[in-house]
Structure 1
């Protein structure tokens, strides 16, 4: 466990199966927004990926977990700058695989577009590229006419469950919303063009069949030259939690396949 000074804030980072004598594929795990932190990966994908030979990097996004919580600086481009600077701070000088869950997947897409030389592939779990549809969804969830659906759900849950032991993620989300401009700034982020032409790396998108985001499959496959999508029947937005083993197998197989392809192309 470490804290690194990155892009003007202190970023909490954990690394598993780090660099050794033999170069390992670097996999950066990016968590979701508000009720999430790197812990969601620590207790799901990260240990097994490291055991299977990956150099795994997890970090808390700005405002989340043990990372600094500045009052402003929550547009998508701020999250991308954080990740870019984090890779520099960790002396990662080879393209990395980005695994993003929910909002973390949007960051992965944006990073691939802004810094294509740093990204080997994107694995987006229940995530949407940060385009116009994403911005509208973020506005409705975080701002809206009555404070935003997501904001209302978090605050209502806190009011109804003040003594619950498992309330910690919701209390943390409440602090982020109360102490920062995240809700107001995220919908104002710089956006990707609808044709997604800035994303040139391979993309693997995983969705739950009961999630509204699964409707993206056709658009992604049509817009991205190297894209694979998988829809897991009967699952909702919490694919990582609801089907951890299945998600791990999909992620592992994709990563191993991409690394094998890279080796063949290098010969």
Structure 2
């Protein structure tokens, strides 16, 4: 048996939502390197197209607001028209809202409007995209793989001590309750879909990144790293091999699972 050949995605068509983001770009690059054709889906057409252009002829950019049911349906139809099929969905899009400072507001003053805005992308968008792509996979009758991005804060509560003196995107940060609640919901949706679509050969798993170094100040990085058994934050490309495993036939008997790539954070 050639185990390495099971990671080969040649001839497969993959969708990555949030494909122009910090992790999204890495995920798209990894999938193309493994041989897949990739639909880079993002909120802004220009960002999606720029990301796809950097990946070469195997990638195409598509604009989509994943919280909008009509936009999702149109996007999936456009991807099928372009590539002919869909084999892999990486349900990866998430939001910090249009007002980042509102996103990080303390819980006691958190506005319902902000809560709903986050949920509309982080879980409603997951539902809409999984529903649309799942229907297409069922029509194809050849199974498929769906991977949904959650977070360590969908598994465990935050350690507020790591945010003392933190700075990111122009101000202090925390882990909002809405973020943790939405990512917990992603885990639950993943397990439900895994049992629901198993009869159709569609595998559904959850990728759980730990903290990724992406411009946080040194205070936060040091405090976070001190809380991780491996002693550091993740690099963005360290999530990619886990995605390729879950997307490919290397995980052909894996469904409904939650794979944490977190340096051991959730061990404690």
- On whether the aligned pair clears a TM of 0.5, the verdict is no
TM-score, normalising length: structure 1: 0.40
TM-score (norm 2): 0.40
More helix by share: 2
